[in-house]
Amino acid sequence: MSKFLKVLLIFISVIWTFWSIANAFLNSGVMNLLPLSSLIPVFAALYSEVDWIYIQVNKIRSYFSAKTVSFTPKFQYAVENTVLADHVKNDLDESLKMLRQRINTKRQQKYSEELIQYNVITETGLSYELDLSVQNQEELTVLILKVHYQVSYRDVNKTWKEFCQLQESLFNNFARSSKSKPRYDVTIKTNTKNFNPFYRLTVRRLGKAEVQNFTLKFTDGPLTVTTSQHKIYASSGQRQDIDKLIKNYVPLSKIL
């Protein structure tokens, strides 16, 4: 039986149940709500068969669960000519200052010709780890900005926008090489054992079989997505692809 036919029959059952209740009330003046109990398996079937309902229900569950996820966005591209680490560090410091973020001086900072590591505190008090790699190659320099957040699911989209503000502020100081294409990467990981994030595609477990290892890799246009147990990774050269993933992924659904 096709999915469309299943959903059609489910909706017919819902309409028939409500019509029966209304008809009984109009004929006898007494409303019998007992038939509503038959809608429980009907709504369970809708949850299972209709993707939109499945996604929205799990998003709502995740929003109110207040669970935290590890969120690691990364951006990189190559700039023309050789860039000194001191120059990059100064621009990074200015970008943080402009965004009203400060370096946590109580935590150890690392600085070398190839890597800058900070612990940063935002205006709202969120603390995160920042890595900025400076890789000088022939006639160009590859800059890689990577940030490690631990945030509530409901704050992932907001945190992603804050990362993009930092990325734009910093990288606007450097002319991108024509030999390089920008790339965005994000990794979302949950430590909650029984939950797994997913986007667009997943595999449902049937029965009590335990999944020891699971990896699903697919493309959605220029976006590449890899889903595994408790983690989702995505990569694209276009920011709007990552925007779409963060807006539509389901973070804490029992899918395996």
Nearest to 187 by CA among 177, 172, 197, 178: 197
Check residue 36 and give its pLDDT.
61
Instruction: State how far the Cα of 249 lies from the Cα of 200, in Å rounded to an integer.
Output: 7
Check residue 207 and give its pLDDT.
60
Residue ranges of the chain whose pLDDT lies below 50: 255-256
Cβ atoms 230, 196 nearer than 8 A: yes
φ/ψ bin of 86: left (φ > 0), alpha (ψ from -120 to 50), beta (otherwise): alpha
Check residue 256 and give its pLDDT.
41
Check residue 9 and give its pLDDT.
63
Show me where the domains of the chain are located. Answer: 3-49, 65-253
Secondary-structure breakdown of the chain: helix, strand, coil percentages, each rounded to the nearest 5: 40, 30, 30
Check residue 58 and give its pLDDT.
78
Just give the CATH number of 65-253. 3.30.530
